[in-house]
Structure 1
Amino acid sequence: MTLAPDPFRSATHGERHSAYTELNDRGPVHLVRQTRSRSIWLVTGHEEARACLIDPRLVKGGGSATIFGHRLDPGLLAATRTEMLSSDPPDHTRLRKLVSGAFTMRRIDQLAPRIQEIVDELLDALVDVESADLVAAFAYPLPMTVICELLGIPEERRGDFRTWSSLVIDPAVSGFETFAAAAEALVGFVRELIAIKRAQPADDLLSAVVAVRDGTDRLSEDELTSLVVLLLIAGHETTVNLLTNATYALLTHPGQLALLRSEPERLPAAVEEFLRFDGPLQVATQRVAGETFELGGVTIAAGDSVLVGLLAANRDTSHLPGADVLDITRTPTPHLAFGHGIHHCLGAPLARLEARIALGSLISHFPHLRLAEAAGDVPVDDAVLINGLTALHVATRPLPA
């Protein structure tokens, strides 16, 4: 079978979506890489993608099944990948239950006033600025501040984390040596934090997670460090891309922006449409076929890797007519941006809350907000997992008369 075009490393946002559209026009399942021992498949059709996310024949297989898992130092692998996202039941069930007990809706709901404060502080800093990179000035610092405050990470310890996170989240792009060095630094950072919380517990999520580790229903030390790494990275990376992609979508669809300004009560539904139309992830984390089976007219062999294309599935016009059109009045808004099934994103409610507050405040603060560069020049992240912009330069003042 001929290899399908690689949609991941596209030069512009439009090219990325065009590549996925072309793949969906060809069919729902595509061979994207082949070695002597296995094939790597990309699933782009919505129905097939949704089915894969709950198919017990597709397993995570633990940390060793992840990219570079076979090359990484075993101790470092265990300290970063012994978490629920890389696990299957019953380990996944136990880990998720323990985390859910600490990551409660009560904590999330109580964050709303503080999120609004952070948003207002960041936007006030932009009032006297003619133009700014919205990623650096707003979309990144908001979720980073929120997750660090939720976990209880001191402000002075947040400096290096952004670099480590960006390198760890997409190893295929970082390369092994760079990825391994960043993972080692990140684990060292997390272990220091855990030691602080053991010595001086506080009313924060990290202290609560440490208490789970040291309680009767225990996390192992590797499970604890892996969990904190996962919460740190997943707690901000996807929200950065959600905010940036949503803002880009609004600024390139002025009719939709005007509608949302005039009817702000549409914001919750609009966030769901942003997630569907241009979600923060290209694919779900890798799965491995535990047995041979048929999918979308092709044979997936035991041992093959399967990437579920969330971005492509959400724009599959055979499932949702007009899926390639942004429509904040759309209802319902079916999407897989946060996954589906047992691995559905635990932090989805927090991401939605941050997006509603951030986007509503952004368009309210800056009635003349617009792109400061041509839409086609906005750079996308060279990535396999994430779908985001490396920068989004915006102007905040009205055009000269």
Structure 2
Amino acid sequence: MTSRPAAIFDHRLLHDPHRRYNALRDQAPVHHVLTPDGAPAWLVTRYDDVRAALGDPRLSVDKRFSGTDGEHGSSLPPELGAHLLNRDPPDHTRLRRLAAAAFTPRRVADLRPAVERIVSTLLDGLAGHDHAELIGSLASPLPLQVMHELLGLPTQTSVDFRTWTNTLLSAEANQPAQSRSAMANMRRFLIEQLAHKGAHPGDDLLTGLLAARDDDDRLTDDELVAMVFLLMFAGYDNSAALIGNVTHALLTNAEVHEAARAGSLALDELIDEVLRWNPSFPLAVRRFAREPITIAGQAIPAGDRIWLCLASANRDPAQFSEPDELGMPGERRPHLSFGHGIHYCLGAPLARLQTTVAVTSLVARFPGIRLAVPAHDIRWRESFRLRGLVALPVLL
């Protein structure tokens, strides 16, 4: 008999997600829940089950396998949904191959001077001040400016794009209606930019995506718009939240902060540990059961929606010792925050690059930096989809 779905996505979870997810994981490996948009789903909480499910071909990211129409609340319209995270092989294989042809490691590596220049300019704006707020002055503007440079977009659109993405991640009651308006505005903007690049090509990723082809195969117009939407949305929010979360971890853990000041901190290892300890995206992209399946003893009917809880899996005591503690760099604690298998995040190298440059430069420029308020007064965004700071006030 199928259990009645529980409304777990409430204010308790919003205000202390790790405590809530830990309790759910301790109770059972799989829970029947109501998602924030009112749809029933199965929440998978333990590391081994989540990792296996991320690579399980019986689970589809394509909403056509949903037992309903797949649309709930603020779901993406078809024109923005034709991207990698909504497609299974062979469509996914084709889209990733075409995107990878433009989003090469060389292109990401070539962005380092631009990232360093943008970070230096942003930090110059803080010089001479005693106080600063790092989310608005560094963590948010950096990935927006980098993404605009990568894609070759006009920088004056940054404020609009930040407003649209904040709307999509909001937990407010009227969010679905606002989200539809934001998505319409984003789509209109992207269509205009693609048309402009078609007439005025440049040395940028947008031009590369327009030209990407494999023999006679190329991205369709809808696929292009959806691909750029995904790159901008995920590239901005994931990187902005990651920069904030890593900086927060540094400033609230004395041993880690001292290692950074002494220059003995391997920042790439710290980034990985923060990704495990406090991931920017607590939940993986929803899946649908292609057929009746069983996860951790729980029978799940075909067509049911499945949410894989990365935040819970990353703190599973069966996988990690002292999982609620931020481990020191040098400890190998493999996380699932960038995914696993064919849907592993294509933009992970860029997110790491931006975070490394931002945090290294911040500590080097302001070695005495510390929180300007008690740690318990730091506010987190009220979002089920994103774990990020509202603000990070510091003394420089």
Same fold (TM over 0.5): yes
1:27 corresponds to: 28
What aligned pairs does 1:191-210 form with structure 2 within 5 A after superposition? Answer: 191-210=191-210
| Matches of 1:374 and 1:11, distance apart in 2 | 22
| Matches of 2:315 and 2:47, distance apart in 1 | 8
Deviations 1:302-337 (A, max 9, x none): 121111111111111111111111113343221011
Q: CA deviation at 1:20?
A: 1.4
Give the letter aligned to residue 283 of structure 2: V
The 3 A distance-change label for structure 1 pair 263 and 72 is: closer
In structure 2, the gaps of 5 or more residues are none
Deviations 1:260-288 (A, max 9, x none): 22234511211111111111111011111
2:258 corresponds to: 258
Deviations 1:353-379 (A, max 9, x none): 111111111112112212222222222
Q: Which moved more, 1:365-374 or 1:353-362?
A: 365-374
Q: Which moved more, 1:50-59 or 1:372-381?
A: 372-381
SS in 2 for 1:159: helix
Q: Which moved more, 1:140-149 or 1:382-391?
A: 382-391
For the aligned residues, what is the CA RMSD?
Answer: 2.7
1:153 corresponds to: 153
Give the letter aligned to residue 180 of structure 2: A
2:279 corresponds to: 279
Deviations 1:127-172 (A, max 9, x none): 2222222111100011111111000001123231111122235688
Q: CA deviation at 1:67?
A: 11
| Matches of 1:331 and 1:361, distance apart in 2 | 24
The 3 A distance-change label for structure 1 pair 364 and 12 is: farther
> TM-score scaled to structure 1, two decimals?
0.91
1:130 corresponds to: 130
| Matches of 2:379 and 2:154, distance apart in 1 | 32
SS in 2 for 1:367: coil
2:117 corresponds to: 117
2:375 corresponds to: 375
Give the letter aligned to residue 105 of structure 2: M
Say whether the 8 Å CA contact 1:173–1:384 is kept in structure 2. Answer: no
1:6 corresponds to: 8
Q: CA deviation at 1:188?
A: 0.4
| Matches of 1:309 and 1:34, distance apart in 2 | 12
1:42 corresponds to: 43
Say whether the 8 Å CA contact 1:135–1:392 is kept in structure 2. Answer: yes
Deviations 1:98-154 (A, max 9, x none): 000000000111111211111111112112222222111100011111111000001
Say whether the 8 Å CA contact 1:12–1:379 is kept in structure 2. Answer: no
Q: Which moved more, 1:101-110 or 1:309-318?
A: 309-318
Q: Which moved more, 1:44-53 or 1:207-216?
A: 207-216
| Matches of 1:67 and 1:121, distance apart in 2 | 49
1:347 corresponds to: 347
| Matches of 1:287 and 1:342, distance apart in 2 | 14
Q: CA deviation at 1:211?
A: 1.5
1:79 aligns with 2:79: yes
> TM-score scaled to structure 2, two decimals?
0.92
SS in 1 for 2:43: strand
The 3 A distance-change label for structure 1 pair 86 and 12 is: closer
The 3 A distance-change label for structure 1 pair 172 and 220 is: farther
Give the letter aligned to residue 27 of structure 1: A
| Matches of 2:303 and 2:172, distance apart in 1 | 19
Give the letter aligned to residue 323 of structure 2: A
1:300 corresponds to: 300
Say whether the 8 Å CA contact 2:261–2:363 is kept in structure 1. Answer: yes
2:384 corresponds to: 384
1:399 corresponds to: none
Give the letter aligned to residue 163 of structure 1: T
1:55 corresponds to: 56
1:178 corresponds to: 178
Identical amino acids, percent of aligned pairs: 38
In structure 1, the gaps of 5 or more residues are 397-401
Q: CA deviation at 1:58?
A: 0.9
Say whether the 8 Å CA contact 2:65–2:288 is kept in structure 1. Answer: no
Say whether the 8 Å CA contact 2:320–2:333 is kept in structure 1. Answer: no
SS in 1 for 2:132: strand
The 3 A distance-change label for structure 1 pair 67 and 338 is: farther
1:242 aligns with 2:242: yes
Say whether the 8 Å CA contact 1:172–1:384 is kept in structure 2. Answer: no
| Matches of 1:369 and 1:332, distance apart in 2 | 28
Q: CA deviation at 1:177?
A: 1.1
Aligned residues: 393
| Matches of 1:56 and 1:288, distance apart in 2 | 10
| Matches of 1:34 and 1:168, distance apart in 2 | 15
Q: Which moved more, 1:122-131 or 1:95-104?
A: 122-131
Say whether the 8 Å CA contact 1:64–1:70 is kept in structure 2. Answer: no
| Matches of 2:118 and 2:275, distance apart in 1 | 22
| Matches of 1:232 and 1:282, distance apart in 2 | 19
